[in-house]
Amino acid sequence: MKIAIIVPYFGKMPNYFQLFLNSCASNKKFDWLIFSDDKAKYDYPENVHFIHMTFQECQEIVQTKFDFQIELRRPQKICDYKCAYGLIFEQFLQDYDWWGHCDLDQIFGDLKAFITDDMLRSYDKIGSLGHLTLYRNTLDNCKVFMSPLNGRSRYREVFESQKGCAFDEWLPDNINEIYINSGRPIMLENKGADVNSYYTQFSLTTFDLKKRKYIQSDIRNSIFMLEKGKLFQVYAGKNGLEKTEYPYVHLQKRKMKDIRSDFNAKDYYIIPNCFVDKTNNPGKLLLKSKKWKVLNYQYFKVKAQSLRYRLKSGDWTFSSVFKM
């Protein structure tokens, strides 16, 4: 089955965007469609397609899909439209069986090991968070987001609001609740490594589907290893170093440094907040990262920028500004 992952992004790409692209290249079963106005030169692999688009052009495309005035004054608001990408970008998706969305602040491992053909045959939606979710590309499935929720046209409320509503994730009255009510076969479990943005150390957070809240992993210090296209979390276990494979790591709200001696190396380690050379002594890297048991100053920097944006637009609620 052909799968396209859609990423509209306006402004300067993250400083490790090339590493993102390199990790896409290892996943030849998937295509990425990048819509952006960034004119910087990158080495795009064959399965990543760059489509030049200004934010104004994106606004115009989105508006043509709806018979009411949508709200899309700033690029950050595009996140609320993620679940509608199948309709918004339908002209680019005619040859695909599935489409999805992801973020750019992540590095992929072996996606096909976690998104299997059996899953693609069985579900209409795979995943429940904004950093990677897939949807079956059929007309009726692409319009599920329009279904009423508790007697309300929730999608219209979101698309007419200036505020960021996290409609693609788990704030109240979201796309996941709409899919649950629809009775369609969905897989809500998220298998990616979602790094807690609040601390400099790499400690993972997971979304508890029963409690409907984020919880922090008991492993409070770890690093990541990309080796032969596979991604592993490395951490201290009871019997020495242990590792767990993940489909991707989400490095949200981190400005990572690339201090590798060979920028073309396909295998490397990821520590707070750097990409470093592959080593035969990962335990040493783990000890080095342990000293960063402090708050992540980049988190507060990004949140301060978010607060300024939201104050200008009137979206200054605590949950929208400080949600982790």
Show the 3-state SS of 171-206: CCCCHHHHHHHHCCCEECCCCCEEECCCECCCCEEE
- Tell which of 133, 160, 190 closes a domain: 190
Say whether both 133 and 258 belong to one domain.
no
Q: Kindly tell me if the per-residue pLDDT of 317 is higher than 50.
A: no
CA dihedral in degrees (264, 269, 271, 277; nearest 10)? -60
Q: What does the block give as tokens for 106?
A: 């992540």
Domain assignment present for 117 = yes
Q: What is the pLDDT of residues 119-162, one digit of tens each?
A: 999 999 999 998 999 999 999 999 999 999 999 999 999 999 99
Closest C-alpha to 38, from 19, 51, 25: 51
Q: What is the pLDDT of residues 88-111, one digit of tens each?
A: 999 999 999 999 999 999 999 999
The total of other beta-carbon atoms located within 10 Å of residue 66's CB is 16
Phi, psi dihedral angles at 135 (to 5 degrees): -130, 140
CB contact at 8 A, 179 and 186: yes
Region 163-181: mean pLDDT is 91
Answer positive or negative: Cα dihedral of 205, 126, 147, 64: positive
Q: What is the pLDDT of residues 64-91, one digit of tens each?
A: 999 999 999 999 999 999 999 999 999 9
Region 167-171: mean pLDDT is 87
- Tell which of 147, 164, 190 closes a domain: 190
Tokens 């396909």 map to which residue? 266
Q: How far is CA 71 from CA 66, 107, 157, 313, in A?
A: 11, 31, 10, 11
Say whether both 184 and 198 belong to one domain.
no
- Tell which of 139, 174, 190 closes a domain: 190
The pLDDT, as a whole number, for residue 255 is 86
Say whether both 180 and 204 belong to one domain.
no
Q: What does the block give as tokens for 200?
A: 């400099």
Q: Could you tell me the residue range of the domain that residue 15 belongs to?
A: 3-190
Domain assignment present for 318 = no
Domain assignment present for 277 = yes
Q: What is the pLDDT of residues 1-31, one digit of tens each?
A: 999 999 999 999 999 999 999 999 999 999 9
The pLDDT, as a whole number, for residue 308 is 64
What CA–CA distance (Å, rounded) separates 161 from 305?
Answer: 20
Say whether both 162 and 201 belong to one domain.
no
Q: Produce one character per residue of 76-98: b if its CB has 16 or more CB atoms within 10 Å, e if not.
A: bbbbbbbbbbbbbbeebbeebeb
Domain assignment present for 206 = yes
Closest C-alpha to 221, from 301, 283, 299: 283
More confident residue, 208 or 113: 113
What CA–CA distance (Å, rounded) separates 283 from 161?
Answer: 49
Say whether both 13 and 56 belong to one domain.
yes
User: What is the number of structural domains in the chain?
Assistant: 2
Domain assignment present for 310 = no
